[in-house]
Structure 1
């Protein structure tokens, strides 16, 4: 069968829902970090917002999408709260799984929203990937899955763009690659995915994924992200990608390194997703706060989600 005609009904033209996203995170739970902070509280403390917790912590690490913004819109009071904490002398970082934009572009974006950020206050999964590529040269020709506006030419490797119509020419490009880097799902469909799986099935090669998220909140919808397609690769080819970003250790290790001198227990990780922000923060020894008004759990029974997953933050609030 011609791979470009293979359609997986699970994600062809799919609009993800919070309920589906939570179930999908549970399905791949065994592939996520297993360590949960041993002193996690017996009860989750509900808060109206982040303000009442400011005196309890020296540093705050914020997820971006669903916490500070949705798509290109900053969330109400997020800019104010961030500035309020900084005026109080608190250390504040943004730890984002964003991978399409370079660090400079992402920094400019959040500054344009009104967040007063220095360069060392922003850690993105794109930055983590680029650091790894600089540290260890990738041999041969690598396929970068991303549109041209993601500026794949800034990556320090010999690359070919894996983007465009899923035809025989694209499959030929895939077959010539010595490895793949997944930056963005923009324009990526189940037909593209089928071609990639067929190419990797004929000759296994390494895959590196800058954004481990399964979904991301953009305005009032959820979008499928590289992590979703990466786990489909595991399901269908047995290839285990290298993941950058939350919930994996290197992202949180970098955050703690930038907060040198502050104990993890005096650091609060704030996020909208149990399986990335909260699980990853707990695995790093941080305290955690789940926000629920926007993001991947919007509209769900959050207490039921905590009970089902066993991932329990210290605090829960609608927003920061």
Structure 2
């Protein structure tokens, strides 16, 4: 796994504005103590996973309590995540192992959109960057697993970028060298630039994809947050609930706020994930992205 600084991740997000959805109109964020203070005003709560429920290790105790209380109230919930290393049912199982009462069907991720996006690429020689490529090859046997060996890229004319959890510096070097040798279109299942992981920020597929796109090396199709199609899955799953009665709970302005508010939801941003240690108000202003509510924790 490769790591970057907060400032590196933030600058890539700022520089990528033209490739991201249009920012929603500013709102004055209201500071609250947590979810319980505002949840009565909504009929569905949509959670992010990394940075809200955990950061790669055990569950946040406050989040366990908040989600259990929500479940006890009978109010519906779901998780919209850019964790695409595994299929949604496996993401649900990992959350259950951390103590969360989450059902398989309550997980919505960019990986769920892959079949319809890949369909027009039938007949192409497509490479896949993933720590578990065998999971995808069970469904798409023609996908070519790509490594840091340039020979694996031979003849590949398009890419599916799932995750880079297994990457070392040599993988990054091969990725850029091969795209400079032959630019290729790319599907990115995880648009995150950086993700809080323990005390550090992991470099995610969005980081490398945006840098490559800035060089003119690729045309990118992003599948997860903050892009609308993944939120349309939420709207389709809960057709009886209007978007403005949905509350997105996240930790990242450029994914959770931009995506949730862009889909018509209100947003509660937690300050203990991606923005941990940052002046959140200053970062909102710098990005031009504002949540409806801000809280120190869930």
Normalised-by-shorter TM-score class: over 0.9
Q: Say whether residues 1:319 and 2:297 are aligned partners.
A: yes
Query: Given the alignment, which residue of 111, 128, 133 partners 1:144?
Result: 128
* Equivalent residue number for residue 158 of structure 1: 142
How many residue pairs are counted as aligned between the two chains?
A: 298
* Equivalent residue number for residue 302 of structure 1: 280
- Structure 1-normalised TM-score? 0.87
Query: Given the alignment, which residue of 231, 248, 255 partners 1:252?
Result: 231
What's the offset of the Cα at 1:14?
A: 6.4
Mean CA deviation greater in 304-313 or 20-29: 20-29
Mapped partners of 1:232, 1:271: distance in 2: 24
What's the offset of the Cα at 1:157?
A: 4.7
Q: Say whether residues 1:17 and 2:5 are aligned partners.
A: yes
Q: Does the C-alpha gap of structure 1 residues 139 and 156 become closer, same or farther in structure 2, counting only changes over 3 Å?
A: same
2:164 counterpart SS class: coil
* Equivalent residue number for residue 7 of structure 1: none
Q: Say whether residues 1:45 and 2:30 are aligned partners.
A: yes
Q: Does the C-alpha gap of structure 1 residues 149 and 181 become closer, same or farther in structure 2, counting only changes over 3 Å?
A: closer
Check the 8 A contact 1:19/1:300 in 2, yes or no. Answer: no
Mapped partners of 2:125, 2:3: distance in 1: 33
Check the 8 A contact 2:184/2:219 in 1, yes or no. Answer: no
Mapped partners of 1:197, 1:220: distance in 2: 27
Spell out the pairing of 1:1-320 with structure 2 (5 A cutoff).
15-36=3-24, 38=25, 40-41=26-27, 43-133=28-118, 135-136=119-120, 138-148=122-132, 151-163=135-147, 166=148, 170-293=149-272, 295-320=273-298
What's the offset of the Cα at 1:80?
A: 2.0
Encode CA deviations 1:230-289: one digit per residue, 9 max, x unaligned: 112112234221111000010111111112111111100110000110011111111011
* Equivalent residue number for residue 10 of structure 1: none
Mapped partners of 1:21, 1:143: distance in 2: 26
Encode CA deviations 1:281-309: one digit per residue, 9 max, x unaligned: 1111110111002x211101111111111
Encode CA deviations 1:90-122: one digit per residue, 9 max, x unaligned: 110100001111222112111212222222211
Mapped partners of 1:155, 1:244: distance in 2: 18
- Greater Cα radius of gyration, structure 1 or 2: 1
1:74 counterpart SS class: coil
Mapped partners of 1:244, 1:171: distance in 2: 26
- Structure 2-normalised TM-score? 0.93
What's the offset of the Cα at 1:176?
A: 1.5
Check the 8 A contact 2:89/2:105 in 1, yes or no. Answer: no
Structure 2 stretches lacking a partner, 5+ long: none
Mapped partners of 1:116, 1:136: distance in 2: 37
1:216 counterpart SS class: strand
What's the offset of the Cα at 1:186?
A: 2.1
Quote the RMSD (CA, aligned, Å).
2.0
